[in-house]
Amino acid sequence: MNTSEVKGRSLWSDARRRFFQNKAAVAGLIALTLIVLISFIGPFFAVWSNETIDWDVMGSAATLGQPSFASGHYFGTDDLGRDLYSRVLQGTRVSLMVGVIGAGISVLVGTIYGTVAGYVGGRTDQIMMRIVDILMSIPFMFVIILLLVVFGRSIGMLFLGIGLLSWLDMSRIVRGQTLTLKNKEFVEAARATGVSTTTIIRRHIIPNLLGIVAIYATLLVPAMILTESFISFLGLGVQEPLTSWGALISEGAGTIRYDTEWQLIAPLIFFVITLFSFFFIGDGLRDALDPKDR
Partner 1 sequence: MSEPILSVRDMKVWFDVRDDEAGGIFPKTKKLKAVDGVSFDLMPGETLGIVGESGCGKSTLARSIIRLVKATSGEAIWMGRDLLKLSDADMLAVRKDIQMIFQDPLASLNPRMTCGEIIAEPLKTHFKGMGKAERREKVSMMLEKVGMDPAQINRYPHEFSGGQCQRIGIARALITNPKLIICDEPVSALDVSVQAQVVNLLMGLQEELGISLLFIAHDLSVVKHISDRIMVLYFGNVVEIGTAQQVIEDPQHEYTQKLIASVPIPDPRKEMERREIRRAKRAAS
Phi, psi of 83 (to 5 degrees): -70, 120
CB crowding 87-106: b at 16 or more within 10 Å, else e: bbbbbbbbbbbbbbbbbbbb
Query: Which one of the spans 6-14, 22-30, 159-167, 168-176 is the region binding partner 1 (CB under 8 A)?
Result: 6-14
Rounded to the nearest whole angstrom, what is the least distance from the CB of residue 19 to partner 1 in the complex? Answer: 17
> Measured from the CB atom, is 23 or 184 closer to partner 1?
184
Angle of helix 84-120 relative to helix 206-233, nearest 10 degrees?
140
SS3 52: coil
Measured CA to CA in angstroms, residue 94 lies from 40, 65, 133, 248 at distances of 11, 24, 30, 12
Q: Does 51 contact partner 1 by CB under 8 A?
A: no
Greatest Cα-to-Cα distance within the chain, rounded to the nearest angstrom: 79
Rounded to the nearest whole angstrom, what is the least distance from the CB of residue 160 to partner 1 in the complex? Answer: 34
Task: Please name which of 170, 172, 178 lies closest in space to residue 105, comparing C-alpha atoms.
Answer: 170
Q: Does 184 contact partner 1 by CB under 8 A?
A: yes
* Residues contacting 71, CB < 8 A, separation 6+: 54, 57, 64
Report 185-204 residues binding partner 1 (CB under 8 A). Answer: 185-186, 188-195, 199, 203-204
Q: 1, 70, 134, 150: which one contacts partner 1 (CB under 8 A)?
A: 1
Rounded to the nearest whole angstrom, what is the least distance from the CB of residue 4 to partner 1 in the complex? Answer: 5
> Measured from the CB atom, is 68 or 196 closer to partner 1?
196
> Measured from the CB atom, is 4 or 137 closer to partner 1?
4
Q: Does 122 contact partner 1 by CB under 8 A?
A: no
Q: Does 8 contact partner 1 by CB under 8 A?
A: yes
Q: From residue 10 to residue 39, what is the string marking binding to partner 1 with x (rule CB under 8 A)?
A: xxx---------------------------
Query: Among positive and negative, which fits the CA dihedral 270, 275, 276, 278?
Result: positive
Other C-beta atoms closer than 10 Å to the C-beta of 5 total 7
> Measured from the CB atom, is 70 or 192 closer to partner 1?
192
Number of chain residues interacting with partner 1 (CB under 8 A): 26
Q: Does 137 contact partner 1 by CB under 8 A?
A: no
- Interface ranges with partner 1 (CB under 8 A): 1, 4-12, 184-186, 188-195, 199, 203-204, 207-208
